[in-house]
Amino acid sequence: MRFDRLTGEWVAVAAHRQSRTYLPPADQCPLCPSVGGRESEIPVEDFHVVAFENRFPSLGPELGELPSPQGATGRELWGSASSAYGRCEVVVYTPEHEGSFASLPFERARTVVEAWAQRTEALSAMKGIRHVFPFENRGEQIGVTLHHPHGQIYAYPYAAPTAARLAERSRAYLDATGRPLMGELLRDETDAGDRMVLAGDHFSAYVPYAARWPLEVHLVPHRQAPDLAA
């Protein structure tokens, strides 16, 4: 981990990931089940969802506290690196080599979401973990190196910058008004209606008013919840 004095952010430098498995043929996929004497990362022939530590992690497996960047210049953190504390996990959705999360049956998709929640709770309880972030990248264009349907979970020793800004603004809004900012945004988007993608019984989804990306949808629960585990 290196501290960027210009932005005030931590940066993970993981050069060893350049040697990770890259787009192997289907019969050599490390995320397919172990069958016929061929061993993979998953030692069973069938499963609904599997989570395990990434063999090529950007963070961890060592746990600990990052040094504080507080100070006049932060220069004491420049020129030397801190251990990249944290955890990186892989979540495999299905034993099938082809497909995606969207192609899973409802019950199987729910199992994956429950695995995200369970891992969020477990990882959040570990020493020094400040932010747990399940995510999925898809497509070679964004750098995916395995085609098998899967996602990842990063457990950071710091709050990632965007999440930290969201939390700071939400906390300030709550202190100033007594109302949750996300709830206000959901109400306003629902009233406007023209950016709503769906309105369910427990969640709604909308394209945000100030969307930053060509494709961006926010999925928001109808009740207040502190994290994915809740």
Spatial contact of 137 and 143, defined as CB atoms under 8 Å apart: yes
Which three-class secondary structure state does DSSP give residue 92?
A: strand
Q: Give the global pTM.
A: 0.88
Q: Which of 158, 188, 205 is the last residue of a domain?
A: 158
Catalytic residues: 150
pLDDT in tens, 138-165: 888 877 888 899 999 999 999 999 999 9
The stretches in the chain having pLDDT less than 50 are: 72
Give me the domain span that covers residue 185: 163-221
CA 221 – CA 218 distance, rounded (Å): 10
CB 185 within 8 A of CB 211: no
Same domain? 44 vs 23? yes
Distance CA 91, CA 152 (A): 6
- The structural domain count of the chain equals 2
Rounded CA separation 59/224 (Å): 30
Amino acid 53: pLDDT: 95
Spatial separation of the C-alpha atoms in residues 226 and 209, rounded to whole Å: 23
- pLDDT (0 to 100) of residue 72: 44
